[in-house]
Homo-oligomer: A and B are copies of this chain.
Amino acid sequence: MAKRIAAFGEVMMRLQVPGYELLSQASTLNYSFSGTGVNVLSALARFGHTGYLVSRLPANPLGEAAISYIRKLGIAEKHIARGGNYVGMYFLENGFGVRPSRVTYTNRQESSFNTAPEETYDFETIAKNIDIAHFCGIALAMNDSVRSHMTRFARTVKEQGGTVVFDCNYRPSLWGDNGYEKAKPHIEDMLHLADIVMMNEKDAIHVLGMKTEKETRHEQLTELLPAVAQRYNIRVIAGTHRSINGDNTHVLQGFMLKQNIFTLSKSLTFSVYDRIGAGDAFASGIVHGESEQFSPEKTVGFAVAAGMLAHTVVGDTPMSSESDIVRIMTEALGDVER
């Protein structure tokens, strides 16, 4: 059933060097706007849901450009506050083969989103008119004010009977020294509020400080995640394991824990065009599967296929329809469609 979904998060401007040149070689950039919230809502809009971004953008030409871009993706703009002065940005230089891609950020702390004053968002009203709210651990790393918005919004959603989705998305560079320690209380705040969580065994070990004697990722996962689900009272925990082959193909396998049962997807191997945002596509697939009450097998299969397709699409933001994903789940590699 089509849901009304809000996502709370920053809009970033992505400035990408076209092709494979470095910033010191090129003279043009392609730009687009993304962010975990934008990516998740774009994916869900393509599955038939209505997505509302809850964010803040400046009332200047960059803010206009960001909003136009978000509208183009099919995301409703009515809960985007306008104010502040800046948009967070990152520069992307594409790697090739053994040479890795490089991301360089501008100062996000001064962005409109990260400087939003306390009364910026009317969470009461928003929460009354949605079914699901999505949150991401990246925003949690920003500052106290953003964290306060997040937990307040999540609590309001719970009070209104909505579903809270939380993607841990622990980024070491954002949390800095002693990051795990700093992050832990904030991530736990969200875990206590969340119904659906994206995380894996590394988050359990490093962020939550859980112990295991197991050695393989899979064993660790099956030992630790049920404990997490129980401790924080989480309905669904899902995530992916990724490995990278010597020929630069990636292997992705999705997992999902629900009612104490682990479900694993097939391992998918594929070529990668644009790595960024693929995790958001997976998360969207889980949210969609739960909304449509798919079986766990179908949900995690759909989510990992959505994640795989997002690697083949230009930009951070998933662009595949439900039928695109279902086709890729069932069909062999095909010739050109004409």
Contacts and interface: CB of A to CB of B under 8 A. Distances in A.
Contacts of A18: 28
A39 B46 CA distance: 26
A72 B21 CA distance: 14
A335 interface: yes
A263 interface: no
Nearest to A77: B74
Contact of A337 (B29, B98, B103): B103
Contacts of A101: 336-337
Nearest to A19: B314
A15 B27 contact: no
Nearest to A273: B96
Contacts of A95: 312, 336
Taken together, the copies of this chain in the complex come to 6
B93 A61 contact: yes
Contacts of A31: 27-29
Contacts of A69: 24, 72
A216 B104 CA distance: 47
Given A96-B271, A244-B335, A314 B20 contact: yes
Interface string A97-121: 1111111101101100000000000
A25 interface: yes
Contacts of A313: 20, 22, 96, 99
A23 B314 CA distance: 12
A61 B102 contact: yes
A273 B95 CA distance: 10
A184 interface: no
A89 interface: yes
Given A101-B337, A312-B98, A314-B20, A68 B74 contact: yes
A242 interface: yes
Interface string A296-338: 0000000000001101111100011000100010000111111
A255 interface: no
B61 A99 contact: no
A99 B309 contact: yes
9 contacts: A22-B313, A23-B61, A24-B61, A24-B67, A28-B28, A28-B31, A97-B271, A98-B333, A246-B269
Given A20-B314, A62-B104, A171-B338, 17 more contacts: A15-B15, A23-B65, A25-B315, A68-B72, A68-B74, A71-B74, A85-B107, A86-B106, A95-B312, A96-B312, A96-B313, A97-B272, A98-B271, A98-B328, A101-B336, A103-B336, A275-B335
